[in-house]
A and B are shown apart, each in its own frame.
Chain A
Amino acid sequence: MPTQTREIETLANREYKWGFITDIEAESAPPGLNEEIIRFISLKKAEPDWMLQWRLKAYRHWLTMDEPHWAKVHHPPIDYQNTIYYSAPKPGKRPEEVDPELLKTYEKLGIPLQERAILAGVAVDAVFDSVSVATTFKEKLGSMGIIFCSFGEAVREHPDLVRKYTGSVVPYSDNYFATLNSAVFTDGSFVYVPKGVACPMELSTYFRINAKSTGQFERTLIIADEGASVSYLEGCTAPMRDENQLHAAVVELVALDNAKIKYSTVQNWYPGDKEGKGGIYNFVTKRGACRGVNSKISWTQVETGSAITWKYPSCILQGDNSVGEFYSVALTNNYQQADTGTKMIHIGKNTRSTIVSKGISAGRGQNTYRGLVKILKGAAHSRNYTQCDSLLLGDKCGAHTSPYIDVHNTTSRVEHEASTSKIGEDQLFYCKTRGISLEDAVSMIVNGFCKEVFRELPMEFAAEARKLLGVSLEGSVG
């Protein structure tokens, strides 16, 4: 029904609620990228020389690279010389003082800092533009030997760990955006969980881009030592601005023998307006290495924001019996474009991977699943299961699936299932004959579609994800 389609579109067109701008004094680098800027960033962050040299090596390599265009996304050329690569809220009078405006911002976002964190039981690192502004629960975690701090602090306080693992999963030369990040990254989070320790609480980072014309290039490194386990959450928002802003992050995960890392993301960067103006370009490289035997890395992502999402959280299954998982919900509406998926590289014996991808397209949104399952010769008896489902709302959007499967032994097994469906007029009518409004019916159907992914999210995040999809599923049984 045309009227029904219009109604669904109206629903999909709800406004971005996190679009406020915080008025705080910031210290920024001039726009543009050159070795001077990189030296400036490194100096600002009081880094040791090896870190600066690594940045410069990456920068020089980046100059030899071309922006990739294989993804199914379209955008005008990005002017890398017109982006600001460093912006930091000016420090208060005392060194430990956080700008009250900044705290208000985080309150608006619902992020628990300080006392609120204690109530919520979640340790939070918050990154505002380029710097980490506060890390909660540091002492409690410290007593167990867990390190949870900003990346910048880790470079200064734990240089051995940072030096050993940074670039070990995503090399500085990996790809155009990861290489750019390696040159100019400003902050991010660092986590180290020592041998045999199960981190007792969810660790969380909240990223916010505030300043105008600023790119955000954070870098996160998580290491779970032998037998350790940790669950990490990442959330992100940005103000509404007319111009496109660049976000090129790198996340590296390392799981040693018998270690487990669960990494969950709710990405809600500003998606641009209804005409497709503005919004974040989200070009992110996330990769985890299951280095040890029996290790496990699980990615869960809910991608609702950004004008463009280019992101493939991957697992390198090196240790025998290691397990990689990828659960994803990607929603695109208006003119949003998402090209997202995963890579599962099976190297060790008996390695297993699971991929569950749910793409939802509305408005003129374009949604592509792109995934690679590669099973090397030595990865005997490995298994992969992939399920890719697409849901279309309306008739102007698109869903695309590009799975690549590359198997080099005969003892492994790969399964791939895919489906594309529309929200049916009959489904909506069915809900409405039960008194359920169109809005609630759409939410219900979309959430039902995403259920397999949402149940992988930690509880509080699952709630946020459902809300983000415009839904209240509270009280649901089963």
Chain B
Amino acid sequence: MKLPLLEIRNLHARVAAPGGREILKGVDLTINASEVHAIMGKNGSGKSTLAQVLAGREAYEVTQGEVRYKGGDLLELSTEERARDGVFLAFQYPVEIPGVSTSYFLKAAVNAIRKHRGQPEIDAKQFLDLVREKMKLLKMTPDFMNRAINEGFSGGEKKRNEIFQMAVVNPTLALMDETDSGLDVDALKTVAEGAVSLQRPDNAILIVTHYQRILQYIVPDVVHLMFDGRIVMSGGRDLAARVDTEGYDWVDKEVKQLV
């Protein structure tokens, strides 16, 4: 039997501070290679926290449960080890690093991953070719590479830069945290198409989103609804469509009936 790429069992996490609130209250989720999953839910349901916990954010503490990734214990790995092993988080709010060019930053990322795989550092020509190809994909101008990472970027540029980076490092598990927010229709289309082009039989995408519009371009195999720190419902695209027309109130009601 083929092992799932990602398997989350009864995952609990809280804010890592004295008296920190519990946010994830028993998440179960299985993602196989080649699949696209979407997690929807209203603000505060814990969907972004789940993405960040999977990426290894230290601001959250896992208190229970387990996460298997490629058959190994993901929670044992540090943030950077996860990244080098193919986990990529596209940020909801990309971070500015003044004075550090996108080019330098990205090269460091690529080389960290290559080093992990026992490969030599990428040479200048190879890097340039790779970057040019992916910039074309995301319809970006070359000056992008020389600008300090995310500094002075518009909201749309920041999101585009996230997916551009994702395209360059070519991850095994892509976590896209509200990539659609703040993007106009054209930009959304470009970014979504960029993400779709990265799909391979051996990788998977997990999209965290509030709205279903991005799912028109990146068609999910499974849609999950998250409510109060748990996945309460899973289904096909029709679930996303129902959220779009009816909002999230019906989810609340159905969950309450179950309790």
Chain A residues with CB under 8 Å of chain B are 1, 3-4, 424-427, 429-438, 440, 444-445, 447-452, 473, 475-478
- Distance of A139 Cα from B87 Cα, bound (Å): 61
Measured between beta carbons, the chain B residues less than 8 angstroms from A473 are: 104
Measured between beta carbons, the chain B residues less than 8 angstroms from A430 are: 91, 94-95, 97
User: Are B98 and A448 in contact, with the CB atoms below 8 A?
Assistant: yes
Chain B residues with CB under 8 Å of chain A are 16, 55-59, 78-80, 82-84, 87-89, 91, 94-101, 103-109, 112-113, 116, 124, 145-148, 165, 169
CB < 8 Å neighbour of B99 from A4, A429, A450:
A450
Q: Known contacts A435-B109, A478-B145; is A444 also within 8 Å of B80 by CB?
A: no
Q: How far is the CB of A425 from chain B (nearest CB, A)?
A: 7
5 nearest A-B residue pairs (beta carbon): A448-B99, A478-B146, A435-B112, A434-B109, A448-B100
Q: Pick the most buried of A424, A425, A444, A477: most chain B CB atoms within 10 A of its CB.
A: A477
- Distance of A423 Cα from B246 Cα, bound (Å): 43
User: Are B79 and A444 in contact, with the CB atoms below 8 A?
Assistant: no
Q: How far is the CB of B140 from chain A (nearest CB, A)?
A: 15
User: Are A437 and B95 in contact, with the CB atoms below 8 A?
Assistant: no
User: Are B97 and A432 in contact, with the CB atoms below 8 A?
Assistant: no
- Distance of A452 Cα from B100 Cα, bound (Å): 11
Q: Pick the most buried of A434, A436, A444: most chain B CB atoms within 10 A of its CB.
A: A434
CB < 8 Å neighbour of A447 from B79, B80, B100:
B100
Q: Known contacts A3-B58, A478-B146; is A451 also within 8 Å of B113 by CB?
A: no
Q: Which residue of A lies closest to B98 (CB)?
A: A448
Q: Supply 18 A–B pairs (Cβ within 8 Å), ascending by A.
A: A425-B58, A425-B59, A429-B55, A432-B79, A432-B83, A433-B83, A433-B87, A433-B89, A433-B91, A436-B80, A437-B80, A440-B112, A444-B100, A445-B100, A447-B100, A450-B99, A475-B107, A477-B101
User: Are B100 and A432 in contact, with the CB atoms below 8 A?
Assistant: no
CB < 8 Å neighbour of A445 from B84, B97, B107, B145:
B97
- Distance of A226 Cα from B213 Cα, bound (Å): 69
Q: How far is the CB of B213 from chain A (nearest CB, A)?
A: 25
CB < 8 Å neighbour of B105 from A425, A434, A438, A449:
A434
User: Are B109 and A444 in contact, with the CB atoms below 8 A?
Assistant: no
Q: Pick the most buried of A4, A435, A436, A450: most chain B CB atoms within 10 A of its CB.
A: A435
Q: How far is the CB of B69 from chain A (nearest CB, A)?
A: 14
- Distance of A425 Cα from B113 Cα, bound (Å): 22
Q: How far is the CB of A308 from chain B (nearest CB, A)?
A: 28
- Distance of A478 Cα from B101 Cα, bound (Å): 6
- Distance of A67 Cα from B107 Cα, bound (Å): 51
Q: Known contacts A435-B80, A435-B83, A477-B103; is A429 also within 8 Å of B97 by CB?
A: no
Measured between beta carbons, the chain B residues less than 8 angstroms from A433 are: 55-56, 79-80, 82-83, 87-89, 91
User: Are A1 and B99 in contact, with the CB atoms below 8 A?
Assistant: no
CB < 8 Å neighbour of A434 from B58, B78, B169:
B169
Measured between beta carbons, the chain B residues less than 8 angstroms from A452 are: 99
Q: Which residue of A lies closest to B128 (CB)?
A: A477
Q: Which residue of B lies closest to A419 (CB)?
A: B98
Q: How far is the CB of B229 from chain A (nearest CB, A)?
A: 21
- Distance of A441 Cα from B32 Cα, bound (Å): 32
Q: Known contacts A433-B56, A433-B83; is A476 also within 8 Å of B97 by CB?
A: no
User: Are A432 and B78 in contact, with the CB atoms below 8 A?
Assistant: yes
User: Are A476 and B104 in contact, with the CB atoms below 8 A?
Assistant: yes
- Distance of A436 Cα from B95 Cα, bound (Å): 15
Measured between beta carbons, the chain A residues less than 8 angstroms from B78 are: 432
User: Are B55 and A427 in contact, with the CB atoms below 8 A?
Assistant: no
- Distance of A433 Cα from B84 Cα, bound (Å): 9
Q: Which residue of A lies closest to B87 (CB)?
A: A433
Q: How far is the CB of B204 from chain A (nearest CB, A)?
A: 17
User: Are B97 and A477 in contact, with the CB atoms below 8 A?
Assistant: no
Q: Known contacts A436-B109, A444-B100; is A1 also within 8 Å of B16 by CB?
A: yes
Q: How far is the CB of B86 from chain A (nearest CB, A)?
A: 10
CB < 8 Å neighbour of B108 from A425, A427, A434:
A434
Q: How far is the CB of B145 from chain A (nearest CB, A)?
A: 6
- Distance of A434 Cα from B104 Cα, bound (Å): 12
User: Are B124 and A475 in contact, with the CB atoms below 8 A?
Assistant: yes
- Distance of A473 Cα from B95 Cα, bound (Å): 20
Q: How far is the CB of A430 from chain B (nearest CB, A)?
A: 4
User: Are A435 and B113 in contact, with the CB atoms below 8 A?
Assistant: yes
Q: Which residue of B lies closest to A446 (CB)?
A: B99
Measured between beta carbons, the chain A residues less than 8 angstroms from B55 are: 429, 433
Q: How far is the CB of A35 from chain B (nearest CB, A)?
A: 52
Measured between beta carbons, the chain B residues less than 8 angstroms from A3 are: 58
Measured between beta carbons, the chain A residues less than 8 angstroms from B105 are: 431, 434, 436, 444
User: Are B95 and A427 in contact, with the CB atoms below 8 A?
Assistant: yes
Q: Which residue of B lies closest to A437 (CB)?
A: B80
Q: Known contacts A444-B105, A476-B103; is A432 also within 8 Å of B80 by CB?
A: yes
- Distance of A444 Cα from B57 Cα, bound (Å): 20
Q: How far is the CB of A182 from chain B (nearest CB, A)?
A: 40
Given A445-B97, A478-B103, 17 more A-B residue pairs with CB atoms under 8 Å apart are A1-B16, A1-B59, A427-B96, A430-B94, A432-B78, A432-B79, A433-B56, A433-B80, A434-B108, A435-B80, A436-B105, A444-B105, A444-B108, A445-B100, A448-B99, A448-B148, A451-B99
User: Are A429 and B116 in contact, with the CB atoms below 8 A?
Assistant: no
- Distance of A460 Cα from B169 Cα, bound (Å): 32
Measured between beta carbons, the chain B residues less than 8 angstroms from A451 are: 99
Q: Pick the most buried of A4, A424, A433, A478: most chain B CB atoms within 10 A of its CB.
A: A433
